[in-house]
A and B are shown apart, each in its own frame.
Chain A
Amino acid sequence: MTAPFVLPPYARAMGMVQLADADGLPVLAMDFGDHSEGRPGFLHGGAIGGLLEMAGFAALDADLAARAVVARFKPINISIEYLRNGMPQRVFAQGQVLRAGRRIANVRIEAWQANRAAPIASCWMNFQLSPVKAA
């Protein structure tokens, strides 16, 4: 039994919530609101990016926990492709860990709205892993 990923203040302030798919893997969701609006009537690209990134953190956290690996991780970089307009409705995101080694983890993340097969954005993230120092 491992502790679930804890959403940080930024994620909570944006209204992100943590769900799970059929396999129990983390899916993040965020409702539309003034706080996430870019050009009027559309989701802000940065808000989509923030959700993608948080889903990347959640996916890596779950992957490490499932293998009982204890490590700190921080993002090195992120590259986002915007595929479709973000509509004023709930948006979901889920990450997939392609590889997590001792020092680097490579994660892919997609965001979608009504139709999972029509993602609105996709991204990759690279994380640097480091051992947790003894207190």
Chain B
Amino acid sequence: MAQDETHGWRIDGPFDPEAAGKVLGALGHGGFLGMRYGGHGDDWFEAELPWREALVGVGGNGVLASGPVISLFDNCTAMAIWTRRQRFVPHVTLDLRIDYVRAAVPGRSVIARAECYQIRGALAFVRGLAHDGDPADPVAHAAGIFMATGDEA
């Protein structure tokens, strides 16, 4: 049953970013982190990671760990690819780079918006920006590449 492979996402019809985003925040690692769908466009996807004590990182100052920010970017960039392709295509992350330009303010959600800016056959090129309230004052930037697997490649 195809749906079992995607936690209930429809993989045979048009990709529905909002429905997929809601599933993403309900199950598995995305559910553990409490990710929330934020919005999407033709080639971008946005999600929010609410702050909570259990996600605090090294330093003991209440700042969100950077691990959850990696996860947020990984998910948003993958979603941006399916959003641009308008269908679900199985893929793997080849690489992901994140620049942490400043620490997120303790207590604030981190919001990531990712864009799929190019698709060349099996390769999808993505970039993203994360902020904690003001997109003009980001906390992190990301760039990465995903590769479609199986028959799509």
Contacts and interface: CB of A to CB of B under 8 A. Distances in A.
Interface stretch (A8-16, A62-70, A98-106): A8-16
A14 B67 contact: yes
Nearest to B143: A79
A46 B68 contact: yes
Nearest to A36: B29
Interface string B5-33: 11100000000000000000001111110
B28 A50 contact: no
B72 A78 contact: no
A40 B4 contact: yes
B93 to A, nearest CB: 5
Interface in B26-50: 27-32
A7 to B, nearest CB: 9
B6 A39 contact: yes
B153 interface: no
A49 B67 contact: yes
Contacts of B90: 39
Interface string A52-86: 01100100000000000000101111111110010
A79 B95 contact: yes
Instruction: Report the contact-size class of chain B (Cβ under 8 Å from the partner).
Output: 35 or more
Instruction: Report the contact-size class of chain A (Cβ under 8 Å from the partner).
Output: 20 to 34
B74 A9 contact: no
A64 B30 CA distance: 34
Contacts of B67: 10-11, 14, 46-47, 49-51, 53-54
B96 A76 contact: no
Given A37-B28, A39-B6, A44-B28, A79 B65 contact: no
B119 interface: no
Given A9-B54, A46-B68, A79 B96 contact: yes
A75 B100 contact: yes
B70 A46 contact: yes
B103 interface: yes
A50 B97 contact: no
A46 B31 CA distance: 13
Given A9-B54, A75-B66, A49 B74 contact: yes
B121 interface: no
B55 A10 contact: yes
A35 interface: yes
A49 B90 CA distance: 20
A45 B76 CA distance: 12
A4 interface: no
Given A37-B28, A74-B103, A8 B58 contact: yes
Interface of B: 4-7, 27-32, 53-60, 64-68, 70-75, 90, 92-100, 103
